[in-house]
Amino acid sequence: MKLRATLRLLAGIGAEAAFVIAAYLAYSALRIAVEGGHAQAVDHALDIVALEQSLGIFREADLQRAVESQPWLDAFTRWFYLWAYLPLLGAAGLVVYLRDVHLYRSYRNVMLVSAALGLVVFALLPVAPPRMLPEFGFWDSVHGLLGGTSGAKNDFAAVPSFHFGFTLLAAVGVSHAFSWRPWLLAASMLMPAVMLVSIVATANHFFLDAFVGGLMVMAVWELLVWSRDERRWAGSRGQSPAQA
C-alpha cells in the first residue's frame, strides 16, 4: 500500500509539473507576442516616474546605488533576480502540494488567472523598465551581461511585476498550507521582501510595478481562495496528495 501511495504521489507530481511547464511555455510565448512599442512603453514609464515623484517614493535609483556600494549585495541581488525566481516558485508549489493538494490547485489557478490578466495588461499598457531610463541615474546591471534586449523576451512587460507578485503568492501559499503559523509567515515574507529589493536594485522594476503585481495577484487570490469557505481546507488539511 505504501508503494502504491508513493507511486500515485510521484505520478501526480510529474503530471502537475508537466502541466505547469506547458502553461509557463505558453505564457512566455504569448508574452513575447503581445510586446508593445518602444516609444509608448517609455512614455508609460515616464508617467510612472512622474506619479512616484508626486508621491515622494521615486527612490529606485538611490536604492540601486546603495546596493551597488556593497559588492556582495550587488552580486546577490543580480543572482536572486536571475536564478532564484522559478526555483522558489517550484519549491513553494511542491511544499503546498505535499501538504494539501486541493489548496495547491487553488493557488496554481491563482497564478494561471493572474498570468492571463497580466498578458492583457502587457498588450494594452506596455511599460519600459527603469533600466531603459538612464537619464534618471539607472543602469542595466543584468541584461548587459546577457546581451542586452532580445526578441526572446518582452522588454516592455514591467507592469505588473510577477517576479514580486508570484513570490508574494508563494510565501502566502506556504504559510496557508501550515495554518498561518506566525513564525512561518514572518519567515516566508522574507522571500518577497528580498525579491522587491532585487527587482528594484537591478533596475528591472519600479516600486509601483511591484505594488500592481502584488495587488493583482492578491485580488485574484481573494476571489479564488480566501473568499471560499475555509472549512473546506480545514477538513482537507493533513490529507496527503496520495489520498486525494
Q: Which residues contact 151 (CB under 8 A, 6 or more apart)?
A: 32
pLDDT of residue 209: 98
Q: What is the pLDDT of residues 116-174, one digit of tens each?
A: 999 999 999 999 999 999 999 999 988 755 544 445 689 999 999 999 999 999 999 99
Tell me the mean pLDDT in the region 39-52: 98
Partner residues linked to 10 by β-bridges = none
Of 56-65, 86-95, 197-206, 223-232, the one with minimum mean pLDDT is 223-232
What is the grid cell recorded at 108?
496554481
CB distance 89 to 170 below 8 Å: yes
On the CB side of 38, CA atoms within 13 Å amount to 5
The rounded distance, in Å, linking the Cα atoms of 17 and 78 is: 27
Partner residues linked to 157 by β-bridges = 127
pLDDT of residue 235: 52
Whether the pLDDT of residue 74 is over 90: the answer is yes
Q: What confidence tier does 3 reach under pLDDT thresholds 50, 70, 90?
A: confident
pLDDT of residue 226: 79
Model confidence, pTM: 0.90
Q: How many CB atoms lie within 10 A of CB 216?
A: 20
Q: Which residues contact 178 (CB under 8 A, 6 or more apart)?
A: 99, 184
What is the grid cell recorded at 197?
529589493
pLDDT of residue 144: 59
Whether the pLDDT of residue 237 is over 70: the answer is no
The rounded distance, in Å, linking the Cα atoms of 204 and 141 is: 9
Angle at Cα 38 formed by Cα 35 and Cα 41, nearest 5°? 80
CB distance 118 to 111 below 8 Å: no
pLDDT of residue 41: 98
Whole-number mean pLDDT of the chain? 91
Q: What confidence tier does 244 reach under pLDDT thresholds 50, 70, 90?
A: very low
What is the grid cell recorded at 207?
516600486
Helix locations, the chain, DSSP H: 2-33, 38-55, 60-68, 71-79, 85-99, 101-124, 162-177, 182-188, 190-201, 207-221, 230-236
The rounded distance, in Å, linking the Cα atoms of 131 and 166 is: 22
Distances (CA, A) of 65 to 59, 61, 73, 209: 10, 6, 11, 19
Q: What is the pLDDT of residues 178-206, one digit of tens each?
A: 999 999 999 999 999 999 999 999 999 99
